[in-house]
Structure 1
Amino acid sequence: MPDTTRYLQAYDDQLRTDAETPSAIGVTMLGPLRLVTFAGGRGFVTYRDLGGSDAERISGLVGEALEHFRADPETDRVEWKSRGHDHAPGLHDALVAHGFTPGEPESIMIGPLAALCEVGDVPAGVTVRRVTTEADVRAMSAMVDEAFGEAVDARQADALLSRLARGDGMELWVAEVDGRMVSGGRLEPVPGTDFVGIWGGATLEAYRHRGIYRALTAARARSAVALGKTLVHSDSTDDSRPILERPGLVKVSTTTPYDWAR
């Protein structure tokens, strides 16, 4: 079996379950859909597959899912996570018709975790470390928002602190230059699977193309190996995809987020 086929099968079998959302504070099943609520007012829709639904049924599922989240006044934004290899007739049109906006497609990358441990040494003058204190978590969250060109959202930091308090396995890592956080990302071990996820990687524009993100990726990978994980997955932008391809990760599919805001 080719690596791409084997990895995609492992992705569908091991990750498209409750293992995908370990930080959920609530999960409701709606047919094939998993309607997830996270701290900080965020809803999320995912599924193993759409059960062979036709376009009419899919449109109905989109409407019912949105009504579920509308009924919760605490939820003010929802992401529907689509995958390029799914059989989903009419899904794009149904989501847009219900007020969802498609984001940029990203590559689903999977490969051997050990290969990431050597993607880059820490550059001179850079410190890479794990963060756990409230002050550090809030500083990291604000820096990542800045790196993505977004307004600082304190609710993101609140959600991260809530997860750390619950001890769901998530790790937060940053890279610093002269005491300033310039890059950061999460490590997400997936319980009961071979996988760990590397997420949220972002570097301030002025510090890109210096090997900082590669060093941050390697540090997270070494931490995951110590936990006994063997496979890594990540949804990658065009900027981060080459960093993951060089050590042997492969693109198995695409994922496109569709976002709705109250």
Structure 2
Amino acid sequence: MTDVDHSALFAAYDTQLRREGEVYPASSVTPLGPLLLATFGTTRGFITYATLDTEDGPATTDSVRELVTGALEHFRSRPEIRQVEWKSRGHDHAPGLHEALVAAGFVPEEAESVMVGDARLLAIDVEVPEGVTVRQVRDEADVRAMMEVAGEIFGDDAETTQAMTDELLTRLREGDPVELWVAAVDGQIVSTGRLEPVDGTEFAGVWGGATRPEFRGRGIYRALTAARARSAIAHGKRWINSDSTEFSRPILERSGLVRVTTTTPYVWKRTAADTD
């Protein structure tokens, strides 16, 4: 990739996938200054933005702290919300954001690489070991089995896994274009992933990529990603994006995708004190 290609990919990501591009299919979205406060399902809050600058000018430590306080109060006042994610990016002008989030009770998770590239780079034939099958799943039993495996690999607690599973099942029942894919060995799911075509953009996201440790390094994740990329192209999408861990980033880089920035999720979880 050339510098021009990198700049074009960065611009496409920053203009198409910030704010509105990230809150579909939220059950509710509330603006707060430059922020969008979204609720997914009934229990999960999400905070995104294109910039932290306000109508009063560029972001300052004080204005950022006020936004954090206001956003958390919005979700804290709704007792059904069990956890909230603030999605930050490494290239944003965000003075004092880390300190403000930590002071408010948000916990930073591991930083991930935002990978972007042409879907055709991933839509290749990948040879997988004998006995491995890659398929799309829609039935409730398959979806629950898939999410249990993903939750186990990611280390999610039972409540988080249940909420995500219920949310995905609701979306499927309502005709949402989200696609759920698995790779199985002898009928047992060993790798999972979602495809999220983003309406009104040229993008489809590949998310939830998780492979059991004992099955890594065999081309299974690449095959699962290739299947999703082919489906993205069938949806008319040009670009693939992914927030990638250090397990998947090298695989996507070898396929030609580019890291355009980093993202760090900060997560707040409700405690008994927040319910009182």
The interval holding the TM-score normalised by the smaller chain is over 0.9
Comparing 95-104 with 164-173, greater Cα deviation is found at 164-173
Q: Find the counterpart in structure 2 of residue 26 from structure 1.
A: 28
Aligned match of 1:85 in 91, 107, 121?
Answer: 91
Which string of whole-angstrom CA distances, capped at 9 and with x for unpartnered residues, describes residues 10-35 of structure 1? Answer: 11111113221212000000000000
Tell me the amino acid that sits aligned with residue 200 of structure 1.
G
Aligned match of 1:116 in 117, 122, 125?
Answer: 122
TM-score between both structures, scaled by the size of structure 2: 0.92
Aligned match of 1:201 in 209, 226, 249?
Answer: 209
Q: Does 1:95 align with 2:101?
A: yes
Aligned match of 2:144 in 138, 146, 155?
Answer: 138
Comparing 202-211 with 184-193, greater Cα deviation is found at 202-211
Which string of whole-angstrom CA distances, capped at 9 and with x for unpartnered residues, describes residues 189-215 of structure 1? Answer: 011111110000001122111111111
**What secondary structure sits across from 1:117 in the alignment?**
coil
Comparing 15-24 with 170-179, greater Cα deviation is found at 15-24
Tell me the amino acid that sits aligned with residue 26 of structure 1.
S
User: What are the residue-to-residue correspondences of 1:154-169 with 2, within 5 Å?
Assistant: 154-169=162-177
Q: Does 1:245 align with 2:253?
A: yes
1: CA distance, partners of 2:125 / 2:155: 26
**What secondary structure sits across from 1:238 in the alignment?**
coil
2: CA distance, partners of 1:235 / 1:3: 19
1: CA distance, partners of 2:109 / 2:177: 28
**What secondary structure sits across from 2:70 in the alignment?**
helix
Q: Find the counterpart in structure 1 of residue 273 from structure 2.
A: none
Q: Find the counterpart in structure 1 of residue 11 from structure 2.
A: 9
Asked if 2 retains the 8 angstrom alpha-carbon contact of 1:107 and 1:255, the reply is yes
Q: Does 1:192 align with 2:216?
A: no
Asked if 2 retains the 8 angstrom alpha-carbon contact of 1:119 and 1:247, the reply is no
Tell me the amino acid that sits aligned with residue 77 of structure 1.
Q
Q: Does 1:73 align with 2:79?
A: yes
Asked if 1 retains the 8 angstrom alpha-carbon contact of 2:191 and 2:209, the reply is yes
Which string of whole-angstrom CA distances, capped at 9 and with x for unpartnered residues, describes residues 125-162 of structure 1? Answer: 10000000100000000010111233343222111101
Tell me how far 1:260 sits from its aligned partner: 0.4
Asked if 2 retains the 8 angstrom alpha-carbon contact of 1:119 and 1:214, the reply is no
1: CA distance, partners of 2:30 / 2:42: 18
Segments ≥4 residues shifted beyond 4 Å: none
Q: Over the residues paired in the alignment, what is the CA RMSD in angstroms?
A: 1.2
Tell me how far 1:168 sits from its aligned partner: 2.3
- Unaligned segments of structure 1, at least 5 residues: none
**What secondary structure sits across from 2:122 in the alignment?**
helix
Aligned match of 1:44 in 36, 43, 46?
Answer: 46
Q: Percent identity?
A: 58
